[in-house]
Amino acid sequence: MDERERHNRQVMLLRVKRYWLVGVLQESLHGAELIDLSMAYRTTAVASRNAPEWQNIPGLDGAAFEQPLPIGTQIPQVYEQAQGTLLIMGEPGAGKTTTLLQLVSDLLHRAEVDENHPIPVVFSLASWHNHVGIGAWMVNELANRYEVPAWLGEEWLHNGRLLPLLDGLDEVDQNVRIECAQAINGFRRKYISMPTVVTCRTQDYKALATRLKLDEAVVLQPLTGAQIDQYLASMGSRLAGLRAAIQSDATLRELAESPLMLSIMTLAYYRMPQAAAIALGGREEGRTFLFDTYVERMTRYRGGEELYDPQDSIRWLAWLARQMSKFNQTMFFLENMQPNWLPRPAERIFVEKLRFTIGGWFLGLGLLAGLWGWLLAGWPGLMMGIVMGVVTAVLSTFFRTLLWHTRVNWHRIETVETLSWSWPWAWLGGALGTIGGFVLGGLGSALAGGFSVPWVFYGGVLGGVSQVLEQALVREEMKLRTTPGQGIARSRQNGRRAGLVTGGVTAVILLIVTGLITLFHFDFPLQLAGPFILWAVIWLASSAGLIFGGLAAWQHGRLLCQLADNGDVPPGDYIQFLDYAAERNLLRKVGGGYMFAHALLLDYFQNKAD
């Protein structure tokens, strides 16, 4: 392994540690100790080559054949016993992700001391889409979530440098969950020696007709009364009232069997009277009550200032949960917000306003140049400006075209986060664009009343510059996001740079051409040169800025304003609110995105929205 490979590997290990162990695992514990969860083998859950045939009968209740593991068994031991291919199951809130991250911690340590050990990487299956191979999907996730170039992700995958931990098979859209399980099996056949770990809710996995081809499956067991009492005792006398309430209330005791609900109880009932337990009814009602209490306390106080009204915070988070569920997301990036997050009538109005605003800008630019031309050259100057303004406005508004052939998708925000330059395409595009510009310039001048060599040159400049931009400046697909909103900020920056450079280069070239026209005494009304140069520079600069990031930043800004007007997001800085929610343990900040502290909390807020 050379130094470059070693460096890339160390960077990736640090990112996994920062995103998942620091950003998720430590935050989820709230300073408490991890509870040693009991586990049981359920061999019937997997299509294991080691399982007897009678255990693989579809519909067989695997719980009847569970083999409890000795108390104190840790997940790394189970992983070793399963030879690195393992299914982790449990009820909602049973601790599947926490258990997975305990395994990640152990695997990271192994990878740090042994450079031949594969890199453990957590992938959230909720983003998987139908008809996509798991390998190709993983490479894309590495680029989008971990800033790993696609070529490096493919190299790691094909060389067996990755150890994929696939979290949340139950979070895949139910309509394609079977296809996802089949895709995982296909991936296992192709990379049979690659360790693979999958997590899933027990009932959701039981409903699948496809069994995963893994060596072993374990089911996380509910907490026992002794474990619950020991955990609460370790928190000190401040939770003595909660301990007493759990011992005396069967519903509360049943809810506490879930590690997540026990953790929420400790937060929601801290310094609350023992009589609060009387408010609990059945299991579902009790869970809702606990989430109500937890959310209310987290929004009202958890250190720092109360920047937002608690009811507003709950409403905004409920809207976010509904949108994430609607679009099958477990991690939220600001860059993923789209016009279709608006109600259908509002989306249509949003799109219409946007395209007519841009069309109006180009029309106004032409009229400005025409007005200046009229002052200098009379009616020919005015007509020139009007024609240029109308043509560019119609092309952008009704044909979605900027420059020569770049098409705009008004209904989608497409960020431009990384740009690259290709000199071969620049020369080819410049040559073809200049030739095409000569032809169009000649035709235009002929139709305007007579062939004019200067207009041919001007047309060549516009054609050459526009084609250099469209061919040589390439938008990369890889997304590099380490902080929230970074993709929008980079799009804005790229658009500004592209616009300024394009405008400056165009102005210099046109001024040189105008100087040559004057030097060689071509028959040309120089009064039209100034208005034309003004229009050409601003038109090309505006088009380049919009194409290469400016339009995405503008769309996103207008979308947030519209959502704020609708009351769906807070006015002002949305990132500030998301950070505020993360500080109160309602969201988790993971790299450049956010996720709800738990899938059950996402479900809770979604129900609040409904």
Is the pLDDT assigned to residue 406 strictly greater than 90? Answer: no
The pLDDT, as a whole number, for residue 277 is 46
- pLDDT (average), residues 278-300: 68
Determine the 3-state secondary structure of 40 from DSSP.
strand
Is the pLDDT assigned to residue 9 strictly greater than 50? Answer: yes
- E-strand ranges in 80-149 read 85-90, 119-124
- pLDDT (average), residues 380-389: 91
User: Could you tell me what percent of the chain has a pLDDT over 70?
Assistant: 88
What CA–CA distances, in Å, run from 572 to 522, 557, 577? 56, 10, 9
When the pLDDT of each residue in the chain is averaged and rounded to a whole number, the result is 86
The pLDDT, as a whole number, for residue 162 is 96
pLDDT-based confidence at 479, cuts 50/70/90? low
Is the pLDDT assigned to residue 271 strictly greater than 50? Answer: no
Over the stretch 433-467, which tens digit does the pLDDT of each residue have? 999 988 888 887 777 666 566 788 889 999 999 99
More confident residue, 259 or 316: 316
Is the pLDDT assigned to residue 11 strictly greater than 80? Answer: yes
- pLDDT (average), residues 461-480: 84
The pLDDT, as a whole number, for residue 522 is 67
Over the stretch 498-553, which tens digit does the pLDDT of each residue have? 999 999 999 999 999 988 888 876 666 778 888 999 999 999 999 999 999 999 99
For residue 439, count CB atoms less than 10 angstroms from its CB and return exposed for 0-12, middle for 13-18, buried for 19 or more: middle
More confident residue, 322 or 270: 322
Which tokens go with 124? 């959230």
pTM of the model: 0.75
Domains and CATH numbers, the chain: 3-221 (3.40.50), 226-333+567-609 (no CATH)
Name residues whose C-beta falls within 8 Å of residue 472's C-beta, 6 or more positions apart in sequence.
421, 422, 423, 425, 426, 429
The pLDDT, as a whole number, for residue 520 is 77
Is the pLDDT assigned to residue 161 strictly greater than 90? Answer: yes
The pLDDT, as a whole number, for residue 511 is 92
Q: How many residues are recorded in the chain?
A: 610
What distance in Å separates the CA atoms of residue 140 and residue 589, rounded to the nearest whole number? 21
The pLDDT, as a whole number, for residue 136 is 94
